[in-house]
Each structure stands twice: as C-alpha cells, then as structure tokens.
Structure 1
C-alpha cells in the first residue's frame, strides 16, 4: 500500500465523513436530551420515553435503511454524469418515503385499539407511552422526506448540509422539549409525552430546512430537483425497493439482536441489564465512527463505479478499511484506558460500573471486526450489491452470534453459564463472521470486475460486460 495514496484518499474520505459523523452524534445527543429532560419530571416519564423509543426506533431505522439505497444510486449516476436520472430516482424514492411515513400514522391508529388492552404496564406509564407514540408519528412523513433529501445531497458528495441540518434539529429539540414537557408559553404540560411533540417538530423542521437548502444551493443545481416533476413509476420503485429492502432488513437484524439480548438478560437482574445497556450505549456512540466512514465509502465507491473507474473503487474500499482500523485502534485504546470512568458517567452503582467496564473490555475486541464489516457493507452498497449484505448479516448475527451467546450465556453445554459475558462473546463471534464474509464477498465482486466478468449497473446489481477493457 502506497502511504502517499493512503493519506490522499483518507483526506478525501474524512472530508465526506466528518459532517456525517457529527450529524450521527447529534442524533444520539437528541435522544440523550429527551431522556434527561423527561427524567427530571419523574422516573415514570423517563421510562415511558425509553419504552416508546424501543418501539419507535426499530421502525424508523428500518425506513432509514431502505432510503439509504438512494445515496448509492445517486453516487453512481453522478459518476456517470446522468443528472436527469438522479432527479427522477430521487422523486421515486420520495414517493416511497411518503407512503411509508403516512403508513406509520395509519398503523398507529389501527393498532392502538387492539394493542392497548393487551398492555399490562401501570396506567400512567401506559398513557404516557401511547401519547408519545401518538405525537411522534405525525413527524414520520417529514423525517422520511428529509432522509430522501439527505441521501440525495450525500450521493452528490455534499455531506455538510447533513451536519448543519442536524444542528438546526438540536436547536429546535431543546426548547421544544422545554415547552411541551413542562407546559410553557401556554402549552399543556405533557411530561415525557412532550418529547414526542418535540421530536415531530424536529423532523419537520429538518425536512423544511433541507428543502430550502436544496432549492437555493448552487452546488446542487447540476441535478436540480425543481427542474422537473415525476409521478410514481412502478418499475423504478420496484428497482429501488430491490436495493433498499435488503439494507433495511440487515439494519433491522442488527438493531433487533441487541434489543432481544437485553430482554433475555432480564432474569439476571436489573444491575446486569443496566450494565449491558451502559456498555451498549457507549459502544453505539463509538460505532458512529466506522458507520460514518462506511457511508462515505458508499458515496466514493458508487461515484467511481458510475465513472467506470473500477480501480479507484477498489482503492477507496481498501483505504477506507485501513482508515477505519486505524481509528478503531484509537477508540479501542480510549475504551480500555477509561472504561471505568466512562461507565461512571452512566451510573453511580459500583456493581453496574464494574460489570459495564468489563463488558467494554470485550467491546474493544469487536471494534476491529465491526469496522471491517460495516465498511465492507458500505462498499458493497456502492457496488449496489445489497442482497449479499442481507444474507450475511442474518447468518452472522442471528444464526452465529445469537446462538453462541445463548450457549455461553444461559446454558452449561460448553462451560458453566456466564450470563452477559456469553452474549458479548457472541457479539464478537457474530461480528467477526460478518467481517470475514462481507470482505470475502467484496473480494469476489472486485475480482469479477477485474476479470471483465461482471460490472455494476443502474438497474441490476451486476451485469455481464459485453465488451471493453477495465484498466487495472
């Protein structure tokens, strides 16, 4: 590997990565603000927000994963300088997102009468939880449309708007929480449910801000969204869904795995669950680093593929993984050195801090495999090879990772059960499996392209090259 090339490619990647990373961290900060401000009302309000989010986040993250396909589509088309097609594909994705956003509202009002009698929470907690969901669903269409505009802009290699709009969202979130949680300026005091109103307002403010940016931005004029209007086209929507659904499901597999482990650990006691959540929350923040690199990798690889510069696509993939691993060394070192202090931020209970610190030590191991798997998946999205991500993540997370976790955590089949440690070892095994398989799949695709056998196309993941030579 040429060191000069590494620094050149890394500089280009980091230019795309840092706004995405800041935006992702701000999104997490908004959730932290909700928890803190609701918690100041009462423990019940805090619990209502936490329980409602455990329902809401998997839904909205699944939609987020589906719309992520647009950045790969746009980046390939931008590489090919097919700007009119970018506008068309963005409109088709917007129709999908609008339907999904409105469907969440409809789903809420259809299911609540059925689900509500089955819920056995204390009455105040149940009321706050359902009120929170009832408020936040009205922000779903705005958030879904914002994601479309975000991926459109990022696909064109402009990621700074994502950061700026996220800052605007945070600036709306804090005062809106204050007003609706505590009942200020003539508004009713909604308690924890007020976070739902605030978040819905954040979603719409982010969409409107992004829409204004897209309208006035000079850098986006080459693919001007307002130069034409496109009604839904079934064939185009089907193709987008074919790319997006595997991404959405693979994201759901990962999110649901960590959620189900928390449920399985409940019999081990509140302190064990709390320690697990502390370690998971911190490692989730650390994960934002390789995830942001992966998103930038999708853009770079997609653009190179659209430009038919297959060597550059391969180079960006390699340098992205190396950059990710270099940063993982730094985050792992910070985790090892300060794990006890970090756990102390979340809790004052010594047993919780001790166990969380131990779990964080295990987390330092999987940070490296996590980096390889997420950046490899980002590169595969750039190649528009998303079905393989779905199959590999399902096998790695659910069949391998969860199975190892269950065997070590709750059975005596191999060793006496080791509770949460067993599941975190399962995470390591599952993520390492995913890293190996995704990197292997990536290598296969790159070899096929190198040998003039296959090349990514706009409508299919890979099509046969009928003619032409690819420079190596």
Structure 2
C-alpha cells in the first residue's frame, strides 16, 4: 500500500459530511487488506478445526482445547507487539521517519523475549491437560498438538513484529499477501499430515499442529525476503539500520503494549476458560462450543480489522497535529460498527445450522452448535461497538482505563455469572453450556457501554 492511503485530512471548509466520508474511505483503504489478512490468519485455525472435525470428534475436541490454550497467549503477545503500529504511524504523521527503525528493532527484541515465554508456557501446559476432565486419548492428542505447534512460534511472533513496520507505514497489503500464502500452505499440509498421505504417518489432530508450525515458518521467511528485496523498503534496511537495544524505548512500547495485550488476553482467555470449564460436559459439548467460537471469530475479523485501521488512522492524525479530525473519526466510526452488526446478526441467526454443518457431520455436535450460535448472534452489537471504541482509544494511546473496563466486564462479571448459570440452580435451573453464552451477552454489553462512555468523554 502506498502512502496516499494515509493522506492528511481534508480541510474543514469542505464540510463535515465530506470530511467523514473522506476519512471512512481512508479507513476502507487501510482496513480492507487487514480484513483479508485477519481472515487468512484465522483460516489456519478454521482449517485445523474443520479437518479435525471431519476426522474424529475426539481430535476436534483436542484441537479445540489446544487452540483455547495458545490463542489467548498469542493475542496477548500480539497486543504487546501491536504498540509498534500506532507508534510508527504517529512518527510518520509527524514526519519523524528517523525514529521508525529504532521502534522496529525494539519491537523485535520484545518479540524475542515473548517467544521464549510463550513456548515455555505452552509446553508446561501439556502435563496439566488430564486434570481438565478430558479423556486420556483426547488429552494425549491435545498435548501432541501443542508440542508440534510451538515449533512455529518463533516465526509467528517474528512476522507479527515485522507487521508493526509494514502496517505502521500504511502498507497493510503486505501482511495480507503473507497471510494468504500461509493459509494456502497450511491447507494441503493439514490434509497430508492428518490422514497420512505420501507415505507419512497418520497423525490426526497432532498433524494440525505440525501443519500450522510449518506454514508459519514459511510466512516468516517470505516476509523477511520481501522486506529485503522490495524497493519500497530500501530506506528501511533491517540489517543495515540495526539499532541496539534501548531500554527507554522498550519501556515506552511496553507501557503502551502491555495493557493492549492484557485487554486482548482478558477477552480471548475468557472464551478459552469457558471451553475448559465445559470440558467435563463431554467431547460433543466442547466440539460444538469450539465450532461456534470459530464462526464468531471469523465474522469478528471484519470489525476487528476496522478497529486496527482506526487505531492506525487516529494515531496518524494525532501525530499530524489534527486532533479535531481524529475525534470526528473516532466517534463516527461507531456508526460503521453499528452497520456491520446489522449484517452479522441475521446471517448468524438464520444460517446457524448451515454454518455449523460446514465444520462437522455429527448431528449431536450440530445441535449443540446451532443452539449456542443464537447467543453469539445476539451479542454481535455489543461486541462490535466495544472493539470499535477500544481501538479508537488505542489510537489516542489510552490503554490503562480500557484494560480495567475489560477486566471488570469479562472476569468480574461474565465468568462468575456464566459459572452460576451453567452449573448451579442459584438464579435459574442450570442451563449447561448456554449459561456461559448468556453471560457473554451481559459481559460484552457492560464493556461496550463503558468503553463508548470513555471514548465520548476522553
């Protein structure tokens, strides 16, 4: 993406409506490739889930549990590293291009430390899986899946760190292409390794982990090659412009990134913890829950990508010294979020059985997934508005108060309420898996109201 996709704002004399439409066009140019990139990255998880689901329910449950463990960690470290995007975008808006490679290198150092931590945490989780009430076979598959997946973690976090440079400069098509290539590599590898084609052993769900690790490694190598040979990055040589670790700069990125990562972890880990709570209810319930998580995660990529673009644009506008336009954009983008929700809700409601059937042919799993998808459709409005509001606040580098709001809404309200509704008769007769999904509606609504109020008063 060239620099014209991050232009300076139009003059106020052009009219307020023209300003808004011009900024929405900029968001579309920035966010369109991000949507494709996020969907392509999500495709790896979807491919794992669909192909494991058509192999065996036990493998689907195992891959679902494994995914529930690494997804929150990955999003936490992605959030920490995503401090680079608004920082680089702000420097670009202010014309401080000499600061860009310094930020990039400090992000790479953070990515290196994050890699060590993520691998250690995932490997230590394996022996704890039997304690979750899983069957021995499902627990063994989940542990094997994680042990394979960790081999791709260094490449995955390297790619995420380098994305800070490309996205921050407004070149969002780069990660789009890289993500598409990764998904195209992952699909045939999954089939070959799950079913044991070409003389390879039949690995089942464990093969999903190896396929994802290999595709992530390929994506990182392609990203490095592009940055080295592309004419657009000749003035941003990674090796030639090497910058030594600077603790003050690393601290700045961590002060911004840690609350972002923690906010993402709070939300996504909540879904993961719910999956772990539901494990004693059996593989069918876990499988149905996992399918609905995948479906909602896929549709969530559209508002999430809009949020990424909004963060980039608001930080650019603040760096360029146009806070009035930044405020106008932050508030009016809530209308775009509302429009997206009005599309998602009927699609999920009326297409729920068809969507679930794409993942599995098991009628019991389809019944569970179709029931839970009704709740997912209901919370679309609150979920989309809260991610839009928190993304605008990140563009302003306001991350600590939003983190507190997420903690209160998800861990203070949603999880305790969900446990009560699912397993006890304290408020209503125990609802089973539906109880947690009903609590999600309450938690997301609280988060949406509080974050929009914060944005409006900021």
How does the TM-score come out when normalised to structure 2?
A: 0.86
Q: Is residue 337 of structure 1 aligned with residue 350 of structure 2?
A: yes
Superposed counterparts of 1:359-370, under 5 Å: 359-370=372-383
Superposed counterparts of 1:134-213, under 5 Å: 134-184=147-197, 188-213=201-226
2:232 aligned counterpart, secondary structure = coil
For residue 85 of structure 1, what is the aligned residue in structure 2?
A: 99
The structure whose RCO (Cα within 8 Å, separation 6+) is larger is 2
Q: Is the 8 A contact 2:149 2:210 kept in 1?
A: yes
Gapped regions of structure 1 (runs ≥ 5):
446-472
Superposed counterparts of 1:22-421, under 5 Å: 22-38=36-52, 42-106=56-120, 111=124, 125-184=138-197, 188-221=201-234, 223-266=236-279, 272-348=285-361, 353=366, 356-421=369-434
Distance 1:415 1:333, change over 3 A: same
Q: Which moved more, 1:44-53 or 1:329-338?
A: 44-53
Distance 1:108 1:267, change over 3 A: closer
For residue 8 of structure 2, what is the aligned residue in structure 1?
A: none
Distance 1:193 1:346, change over 3 A: closer
Distance 1:366 1:103, change over 3 A: closer
Q: Which moved more, 1:138-147 or 1:263-272?
A: 263-272
Q: Is the 8 A contact 1:343 1:353 kept in 2?
A: yes
For residue 24 of structure 2, what is the aligned residue in structure 1?
A: 10
1:308 aligned counterpart, secondary structure = coil
Q: Is the 8 A contact 1:72 1:298 kept in 2?
A: yes
For residue 455 of structure 1, what is the aligned residue in structure 2?
A: none
Instruction: After TM superposition, give the deviation of residue 169 of structure 1 in Å.
Output: 0.5
2:183 aligned counterpart, secondary structure = helix
Gapped regions of structure 2 (runs ≥ 5):
1-14
For the aligned residue pairs, the C-alpha RMSD in angstroms reads: 2.9
Instruction: After TM superposition, give the deviation of residue 258 of structure 1 in Å.
Output: 1.6
Q: Is the 8 A contact 2:299 2:344 kept in 1?
A: yes
Q: Is the 8 A contact 2:53 2:360 kept in 1?
A: no
Cα distance in 1, alignment partners of residues 90 and 422 from structure 2: 44
Cα distance in 2, alignment partners of residues 346 and 84 from structure 1: 49
How does the TM-score come out when normalised to structure 1?
A: 0.84
Distance 1:317 1:355, change over 3 A: same
Instruction: After TM superposition, give the deviation of residue 86 of structure 1 in Å.
Output: 1.4
1:385 aligned counterpart, secondary structure = coil
Cα distance in 1, alignment partners of residues 342 and 126 from structure 2: 50
Number of residue pairs aligned between Structure 1 and Structure 2: 444
Instruction: After TM superposition, give the deviation of residue 273 of structure 1 in Å.
Output: 4.5
Q: Is the 8 A contact 2:49 2:291 kept in 1?
A: no
Cα distance in 2, alignment partners of residues 274 and 114 from structure 1: 21
Cα distance in 2, alignment partners of residues 190 and 276 from structure 1: 24
Cα deviation per residue 1:275-313 (whole Å; 9 max; x = unaligned)? 444433322222111111000101000101111110121
